[in-house]
């Protein structure tokens, strides 16, 4: 039988940014937590929405519509936002932590992305929490 997992303790167990850890699974979905700081990359998930919950600090998500129009949503702790499938987006943060809910196997850098992946962005489908 599993026991409850404390998200504060889970986040304290690693310090890499944009390198999500899988804290639980629900059906065919991963529940992931990540530290955030700096710029991610513009990317898109063609076939899935992406759910974000702000846990700590501030988390910005720049969104680019099909016509090229950009806007940014800002999450504070407790705020949720869903990036619709097929929407280009670029996360950034002055520092914080988030929880994500997405299908198992979803890459952090999307199905397509702009440019090279910076060293501080872990292109992964989630890492197990150790």
Examine residue 4 and state whether it is found in any structural domain, yes or no: no
Examine residue 7 and state whether it is found in any structural domain, yes or no: no
Examine residue 27 and state whether it is found in any structural domain, yes or no: yes
Pairing status of strand 80-83 against strand 43-44:
unpaired
Report the domain count for the chain: 1
Examine residue 121 and state whether it is found in any structural domain, yes or no: yes
| Rounded distance between C-alpha atoms, residue 54 and residue 100, angstroms | 9
Q: Is the pLDDT of residue 5 over 80?
A: yes
Examine residue 111 and state whether it is found in any structural domain, yes or no: yes
pLDDT in tens, 29-73: 999 999 999 999 999 999 999 999 999 999 999 999 989 999 999
Contact of 75 with 58, CB cutoff 8 Å: yes
Q: What percent of the chain has pLDDT over 90?
A: 92
* CATH number of residue 39's parent domain: 2.60.120.10
Q: Which domain holds residue 38?
A: 16-128
Examine residue 3 and state whether it is found in any structural domain, yes or no: no
pLDDT in tens, 112-127: 998 899 999 999 999 9
Q: How many helices (H) and strands (E) does the chain have?
A: 1, 9
Examine residue 79 and state whether it is found in any structural domain, yes or no: yes
Pairing status of strand 50-64 against strand 80-83:
antiparallel
């Amino acid at each position: 039988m599993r026991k409850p997992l404390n998200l504060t303790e889970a986040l304290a167990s690693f310090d890499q940014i944009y390198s999500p850890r899988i804290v639980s699974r629900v059906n065919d979905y991963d529940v992931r937590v990540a530290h955030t700081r700096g710029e991610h990359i513009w990317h898109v998930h063609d076939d899935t929405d992406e759910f974000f919950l702000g846990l700590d600090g501030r988390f910005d998500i720049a969104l680019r519509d099909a016509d090229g129009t950009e806007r940014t949503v800002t999450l504070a702790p407790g705020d949720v936002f869903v990036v619709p499938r097929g929407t280009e987006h670029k996360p950034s943060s002055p520092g914080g932590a988030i929880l994500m809910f997405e299908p198992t196997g979803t890459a952090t850098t999307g199905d397509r992305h702009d440019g090279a992946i910076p060293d501080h962005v872990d292109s992964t489908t989630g890492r197990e929490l150790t």
